[in-house]
Amino acid sequence: MDDFREGNWLLRADAAAGLRALHQAGQRVQMIYIDPPYNTGNTFAYHDRRAKDEWLAMMHPLLATAREILTPDGLIFISIDFNQLCELKLEMDRTFGTENLIGNFVWVSNLKGRQLGAGPAGTHEYILTYARDAAQVGKLRGRTELLQKLMPAVYHLPQRQVKHDARGEYVTKNELYNTNSKFNEVTAPSMVFDILYHPQTGAVRTSEVGAADPELAAAGWICAPPHPNAKPGLKYHAWRWSRAKVERDYADLEFQVRGRGEHRHLKIYTKIRNFHETALKDLVIGPSTISGQRELQRLGLGGLFETPKPTKLLQVLIEAGTSPGDTVLDFFAGSGTTGQAAHTTGRRFVLIQLEETFSSAKSTSASEHGLDTIADLTAARLRAAHVPFRETTL
């Protein structure tokens, strides 16, 4: 049996057979992305017309096996439109558990709108996301530079001065005090205290409000009391950090001395060290179906796939859900976007694609490209993009 745990693979197989082979080989992956037939009843490159019961009967065993292939901290992303969203959500709740729902991305795939029948022109699809075990999954994050470039309207982040200290680069964002007046000496008494800072030595200590030794001021210490709370009946805003955290992690705080003499006071800001990353939002605008089509055209494979996913979309998901060197699985590989995106981001991939013939609408164009099946297109795309891979037929 082939060892699918090394290198990149394209398995020419039915999804069920491919998943069984991976499971039997002991393959484990950190992420799965699939773009299954949406059951729209429309004719694309593949055959996309199944009754709802038949669609669910097809998906259930695939998802059950896919779950077993995921690592404990693994994620599965599933592209879907409104036709099967509710059914898919119920199936995922049953297979993965409601407690393992991570979120549901809205991807604006065609801002101009696509009229597929009665009702409004569709502009978006969904990407339903589950974990094998949500308790082992952290926040989904992406590269700030990439997200701002792709989606400036969604990730409109102000430019901040990059500073340096003994621990490396950082930027400052928020003051340490909690601006929400609901956090105060009544609701969070342990978070209300004085912070003292010595500008010459960089030393930091804390005390109860107003309880600091008066001689400390003469020794050069500056006291930062908790911020006044304007809410009736209250005195102070709480800090965002506890006393223990301030005393332990003060190297991750920036103390700015303002004023002179008796008017000296402190502004305290938290340092952000992972500013090259930002939290991923559940709205994706920018990468579109049209950009996916243009990518295929640039690879000499235009006109063969109606709705290819753009590599930038997959790149965002892959970088959020995995680390370099991890493995990504796609068992509805289609035009091969997942493989190209995984390779671009330094991940391995395993693609599974049925040797399915093109629909009648695409068969002539496919023949002109020397392609007989969708799996041929998957392989052709990877070769055209200079992505190394091995393939086998199951």
- The pLDDT, as a whole number, for residue 257 is 95
- 166 CB burial (10 A radius; 0-12, 13-18, 19+): exposed
* All structural domains of the chain: 9-156+278-393 (3.40.50.150), 163-272 (no CATH)
Question: pLDDT tens-digit profile of 367-390?
Answer: 888 899 999 999 999 999 999 999
For Cα atoms 275, 314, 66, give the angle at the middle one, nearest 5 degrees.
Answer: 115
Question: pLDDT tens-digit profile of 17-35?
Answer: 999 999 999 999 999 999 9
**CA-to-CA distance for 97 and 341, rounded, in angstroms?**
29
Question: pLDDT tens-digit profile of 225-259?
Answer: 999 999 999 999 999 999 999 999 999 999 999 99
Q: Which of 329, 276, 335, 277 is nearest to 311 (CA)?
A: 335
**CA-to-CA distance for 153 and 102, rounded, in angstroms?**
23
User: Using an 8 Å Cβ cutoff, are 240 and 178 in contact?
Assistant: yes
Question: pLDDT tens-digit profile of 68-110?
Answer: 999 999 999 999 998 889 999 999 999 999 999 999 999 999 8
Chain centre distance of CA 278: 10
Sheet holding 283-285, edge to edge: 283-285, 101-108, 124-131, 70-80, 29-34, 327-330, 348-353, 9-12, 390-393
Q: What is the mean pLDDT of the chain?
A: 91
Question: pLDDT tens-digit profile of 29-69?
Answer: 999 999 998 655 544 454 555 567 788 888 999 999 999 99
